[in-house]
Amino acid sequence: MNQDLEKIKIEYISKIDSVTTDNQLEQIRIEIFGRNGKINDLFSQIKNISPELRKQYGADLNQLKTELEQILKNKSVIKSDKLKSDTPKPSVFGLPKTGHLHPITQTERQLNDVFLKLGFSLYSGPEIVTDEYNFKRLNVPANHPARDMQDSIYIKEPEYLLRTQTSTIESYLLAQKSKELPLRAAFAGSTFRNEKVNRSNHFVFHQYQAVVVDKEVTMKDLIGTMDLMFKTLYGPGVVVRYRCKYYPEVEPGVGPDMQCFSCHGVGCPICKYAGWIEMGGAGMIHPKVLEMADINPKIWSGFAFGMGLDRWTMAQKNIKDIRTLMGGNLAYKPNEK
Ligand SMILES: [Zn+2]
């Protein structure tokens, strides 16, 4: 995004962030989207932009508008959600109302806030995907042994399947944005694998992913971003370690583990007595992946990391069984055993 617009975005994000009353929120909404608001003002200045930059400026401006709308909407949903839980009202069955956003959605929005502040843009992608974008463009050709790591659910073999990972959105994005670099993107979604269901596994799970492609991006940027994200979500005292891992789409690859929230490293059934919980996978984007998207790896480098949202949410809300997240008991209590 254009640097001036980026600055405006960050300025408004922090303003929206500090809002505590409905009145203040409405004031900011008018300041941004009112008839004489910032967005209309910026649109009216398009004519002053040089013709060759005008198209990109317009696209950036539209993106700014969409993102600020979304942030305002999230803020009001969170507020009304809090209001609801503060003032329980009896339902027709005489039970108190306990409605709230799904815990996964709550985590997703928390992460969105973190990444928007870091200048990332939010994206989404299709759930039914082609083998090419789910595997081949992520450096997993046909018959590659890494395919065994992801037991896939095919819609029409061998071409169409349910995406097994949010990296699929990464491969679509790299292909689409190869001529509009640098890229800072964050996205979340449901992913699907042919897994047996038990307390820690499910065939539908949710991932969050962030991708950066720029010049001179290093492992230091990756670890720094991940550390910041863990601290924002779990507080400054969170203990995270990084281990070398293999993922075909990155080189080198790392896996962050968080010290178990339940036993604090001693060992318990949640962490399978390891004391640590695997929180996802990350690494520097493999040069072959960039090449397949028509991006020159001699000029551009990047990192990607993906995390299971389910385990994060469970860690945050102290939920001990992943099936709770897919079950019908929407009125679960966070500390229910
Ligand atoms: Zn444990």
Q: What is the CATH number of the domain that holds 275?
A: 3.30.930.10
Residue at 94: amino acid letter: G
* Sequence-ordered list of residues with C-beta below 8 angstroms from that of 297, at least 6 positions apart, any chain: 287, 290, 291
Question: Domain tally for the chain?
Answer: 2
Ligand 1 center to 246 CA (angstroms): 24
Range of lowest pLDDT (93-97, 225-229, 329-333): 329-333
Ligand 1 center to 235 CA (angstroms): 18
* Sequence-ordered list of residues with C-beta below 8 angstroms from that of 164, at least 6 positions apart, any chain: 134, 150, 152, 191, 192, 193
Q: Are residues 259 and 317 in the same domain?
A: yes
Higher pLDDT, 324 or 188: 188
User: Which of 62, 92, 122 is the last residue in one of the domains?
Assistant: 92
Q: Would you state the pLDDT for residue 35?
A: 87
Rounded mean pLDDT of 265-291?
A: 91
Ligand 1 center to 277 CA (angstroms): 8
Question: E-strand spans in the chain?
Answer: 121-123, 128-130, 154-156, 160-162, 183-192, 204-214, 240-245, 250-259, 276-278, 281-285, 301-308
Residue at 16: amino acid letter: I
Q: Are residues 63 and 147 in the same domain?
A: no
Ligand 1 center to 245 CA (angstroms): 21
Give the whole-number percent of the chain exceeding pLDDT 70: 90
Q: Would you state the pLDDT for residue 207?
A: 94
Instruction: State pLDDT tens for residues 93-105.
Output: 566 666 788 889 9
Rounded mean pLDDT of 45-68?
A: 88
98 in any annotated domain: no
Q: What whole-number distance in Å separates Cα of residue 153 and Cα of residue 164?
A: 8
Q: Are residues 88 and 109 in the same domain?
A: no
Rounded mean pLDDT of 23-32?
A: 88
Reply yes or no on whether the pLDDT at 156 is more than 60: yes
pLDDT band of residue 79 (cuts 50, 70, 90) is low
240: alpha, beta or left? (left if phi > 0; alpha if psi -120 to 50): beta
Instruction: State pLDDT tens for residues 242-254.
Output: 999 999 999 999 9
Ligand 1 center to 259 CA (angstroms): 8
User: What distance, in Å, lies between the first and last C-alpha atoms of the chain?
Assistant: 46
Q: Are residues 136 and 43 in the same domain?
A: no
Ligand 1 center to 199 CA (angstroms): 14
Q: Are residues 64 and 203 in the same domain?
A: no
Rounded mean pLDDT of 255-282?
A: 87
Inter-residue contact 316 to 237 (CB < 8 Å): no
Q: Are residues 24 and 141 in the same domain?
A: no
Q: What whole-number distance in Å separates Cα of residue 184 and Cα of residue 289?
A: 16
Q: Are residues 111 and 9 in the same domain?
A: no
Q: Would you state the pLDDT for residue 337?
A: 42
Rounded mean pLDDT of 33-59?
A: 88
Q: Are residues 131 and 253 in the same domain?
A: yes
Mean pLDDT of the chain: 86
Pull the structure tokens for residue 235: 């507080």
Reply yes or no on whether the pLDDT at 226 is more than 60: yes
Ligand 1 center to 232 CA (angstroms): 21
Reply yes or no on whether the pLDDT at 330 is more than 70: no
Ligand 1 center to 317 CA (angstroms): 15
Q: Are residues 228 and 186 in the same domain?
A: yes
Ligand 1 center to 205 CA (angstroms): 21
Ligand 1 center to 308 CA (angstroms): 17
Reply yes or no on whether the pLDDT at 11 is more than 90: no
337 in any annotated domain: no
Reply yes or no on whether the pLDDT at 52 is more than 60: yes
Q: Are residues 21 and 121 in the same domain?
A: no
149 in any annotated domain: yes
Q: Are residues 189 and 300 in the same domain?
A: yes
Higher pLDDT, 269 or 295: 295
Inter-residue contact 291 to 279 (CB < 8 Å): no
Reply yes or no on whether the pLDDT at 85 is more than 70: no
User: Which of 69, 92, 115 is the last residue in one of the domains?
Assistant: 92
Q: Are residues 67 and 136 in the same domain?
A: no
Ligand 1 center to 167 CA (angstroms): 28
DSSP state of 138: G
Q: Would you state the pLDDT for residue 262?
A: 77
Ligand 1 center to 257 CA (angstroms): 12
Ligand 1 center to 196 CA (angstroms): 22
User: Which of 41, 69, 92 is the last residue in one of the domains?
Assistant: 92
Domain housing 285: 105-326
pTM metric for this prediction: 0.67
Ligand 1 center to 169 CA (angstroms): 32
Rounded mean pLDDT of 200-217?
A: 92
221 in any annotated domain: yes
69 in any annotated domain: yes
Range of lowest pLDDT (71-75, 217-221, 306-310): 71-75
Residues with CB under 5 A from ligand 1 (ion): 260, 262-263, 268, 270-271
Q: Would you state the pLDDT for residue 136?
A: 94
Q: Would you state the pLDDT for residue 336?
A: 45
